[in-house]
Amino acid sequence: MKTIPSLSLKNSPIPIAIMQVGGQIVATSDALFSFFEYSSNQTITDITDLFGEVSEAFNKGIRTNEEFSEDIKVLSNTGELRWLKANVYPLSKKEKLFHISFYDFSQKIEYDLARQANNIAKVGSWTVDLVNNEVHWSSETRAIHELPAEYMPDLEKGINFYKEGESRECIIEAISECIASGKPFDLELIIITGKSNEKWVRAMGSAEQVNGKVLSLSGVFQDIDQAKRQRLNYEVLSDRLRVAINSANVGVWDFDLINKNLFWDEKMYDLYGISKSDFKGVYEAWESTIHPEDKERAGNEVDLAIKGEKKFDTEFRIVKKDGEIAFIHAEAEVFCNKEGKPYRLIGANTDVTRSKRRDQRLTQLLNVTEEQNQRLLDFTNIVSHNLRSNSSNISMLSGMLDADLPLEKQKQFIEMIRTSAERLDETIVQLNDVVKIQATSKYDMDRMPLRPMIEKVIESINGLVLETSPLLDIDIDDSIKVLGFKPFLNSVFLNLFTNAIKYREPSRQLKIEIRAKVLNDNTIISFTDNGIGINLEKNRSKIFGIYKTFHSNKDAKGVGLFITKNHMEAMGGKIEVQSTLGAGTTFNLCFNNSI
């Protein structure tokens, strides 16, 4: 049965509202108006006028008819968030009236939030009062220094926590300058804490000036030890990685399979010989640089790698902008998400052109060596034939030179023994020639004009030439030279001429045609006759073998082309043959002028 204490209520400095159970406001304090930013001529009739829709918790509190308090968020007229506490208690149970007083605790909330944030971020603060020479540290600043709460700092002590050397010099300089000119600082330095731990901190400071005079400094102090160390570690690692990648000449690429974005590092552009601006950063651009013959295979290998069927580890050729071909060795790793779906492909490319070319050169050398070995094998086998056939003849013939043999036969046998002995000697001279070729070095070679050399060879076989009167068609530019060893060159041409004469077709006049041209580093000479020719289908593999002859010609000894080929190869050149049985033969000599 109480009346509403309206007068005292109205004058209360506290914002108070009297509310009925349904939400109607039946009385207010004047302070309520200003608290909720109403002007005094406005009216407040319902609780929703104060803080909009009431919460379920508030309604529940009302229904219990007991004292309670509730935190309420409202927006101010300027749009700022306000935290209000509403303290509610029932005035009269019968009339169901409630006394609600309000209290704004926004600032406290902000303070708490800031404190929480500071704790999490390990941020402390400090001030230096230069007038009274007082230093104040926040509790977090002390905590970062690993010092007890009662620790009393001063400027010198503070500075001495910085590690001797670079860190301390830096902070002294920064603070001095801040005091002198008001210049703020923001540094990452090392301190030695009260527990002797080394720690990376970020020290920020600025000056407060009055009439151009610095009165105090204040700033923020942050523990960045973990982050800094991680960053430093990362830098060390990435430096190492960079050095490794640079020294290995490795290009790295990163292919985003979802968005089809291809990233190349600088080295990749180097390797592919294109500039960054030419490249669209898409897979197709990579594909377009690959050699046409390798494109399909390389593309397939990428697909297989993405599907996880085969590791990407392959080699392909690329065609650079200037048309140069390079060999690339490529390896890549596929990255998959939790569902096992690939989303990223990272790979490394190396230019293996040099080692590839070295391999090719080695294979080439190996082939030449194998060929030479094969010929040496022929050599030993067939040498035994020529040596043994003559020596065995001598042995047989001399063994039968006895009284039983008719005088006529004896004379014949002695003549044969003499001839066999000569042939034996001739064979040994030829073998000596072969041995000499193997022992000749490339350093003895000279560049010699071709035409005079050929003319000299023809002169030296004047007798043969006069006898057979061949038609000589020699068209060689005077400027053409070959790099070779003079005795070998003479021997090569002498052998070709005598072969052409020896194996001429008797029914027609012998014609010899010689042409020469220079192509890149090579001088190529063709030597063509219209002789009886060689059946190459049958004899290609043994034409340059020792003691292989293909004609019934009695003069054929089969050593000439073997020696010719060896002479050519000893000079770094090549000899090849084309022939049609009955029509003639062409020998192509290729001299390498760049050895």
Partner 1 sequence: MSANEMFLVDDDLFFRVASDVLIKRGIPELDIVQFENGLEAYQALVERVENLESLPKLLFLDLNMPIMSGWEFLEELKGVSSTICEQIQIYIVSSSIAPEDVNLFETYDFVNGYISKPLNLQDLEKVNETLSLIGDV
Task: Name the residue nearer to partner 1 (CB basis): 220 or 397.
Answer: 397
The answer to whether 578 and 588 are in contact (CB under 8 A) is: yes
CB of 560 to partner 1, least distance (A): 15
* Binding residues vs partner 1 (CB under 8 A): 381-382, 384-385, 388-389, 391-393, 395-397, 399-400, 404-405, 409, 412-413, 416, 419-420, 547, 549-552, 556
The answer to whether 401 and 409 are in contact (CB under 8 A) is: no
Task: Name the residue nearer to partner 1 (CB basis): 210 or 407.
Answer: 407
Residue found by looking up tokens 């067939």 in the block = 382
Which residues sit opposite 102 in a β-bridge?
86
Buried b (16+ CB within 10 A) or exposed e, 226-243: eebeeeeeeeeeeeeeee
Cα 37 to Cα 16: distance, rounded to the nearest angstrom: 14
The three-point CA angle 65-68-74 to 5° equals: 115
- Please classify residue 251 by burial: count the beta carbons closer than 10 Å to its beta carbon, then call 0-12 exposed, 13-18 middle and 19+ buried: buried
Which residues sit opposite 86 in a β-bridge?
70, 102
CB of 395 to partner 1, least distance (A): 4
Cα 383 to Cα 6: distance, rounded to the nearest angstrom: 141
CB of 558 to partner 1, least distance (A): 9
Task: Name the residue nearer to partner 1 (CB basis): 275 or 381.
Answer: 381
Task: Name the residue nearer to partner 1 (CB basis): 128 or 543.
Answer: 543
Task: Name the residue nearer to partner 1 (CB basis): 232 or 400.
Answer: 400
Task: Name the residue nearer to partner 1 (CB basis): 364 or 395.
Answer: 395
- Name which of 317, 323, 305 is nearest 349 in CA terms: 317
Residue found by looking up tokens 């052998």 in the block = 495
CB of 285 to partner 1, least distance (A): 58
Alpha helices (H) in 403-535, listed in sequence order: 407-438, 450-460, 462-468, 486-502
Quickly list DSSP for 186-254: EEEEEEE-TTS-EEEEEEEEEEEEETTEEEEEEEEEEE-HHHHHHHHHHHHHHHHHHHHHHHTTEEEEE
Task: Name the residue nearer to partner 1 (CB basis): 257 or 376.
Answer: 376
CB of 374 to partner 1, least distance (A): 13
Task: Name the residue nearer to partner 1 (CB basis): 289 or 386.
Answer: 386
The answer to whether 26 and 19 are in contact (CB under 8 A) is: yes
Buried b (16+ CB within 10 A) or exposed e, 265-280: bebbbebbbbeeeebe
Task: Name the residue nearer to partner 1 (CB basis): 206 or 549.
Answer: 549
Task: Name the residue nearer to partner 1 (CB basis): 289 or 420.
Answer: 420
The answer to whether 17 and 50 are in contact (CB under 8 A) is: yes
CB of 388 to partner 1, least distance (A): 4
CB of 574 to partner 1, least distance (A): 27
Q: How many CB atoms sit inside 10 A of residue 555's CB?
A: 9
SS3 label, residue 286? helix
Query: What does the chain come to in residues?
Result: 595
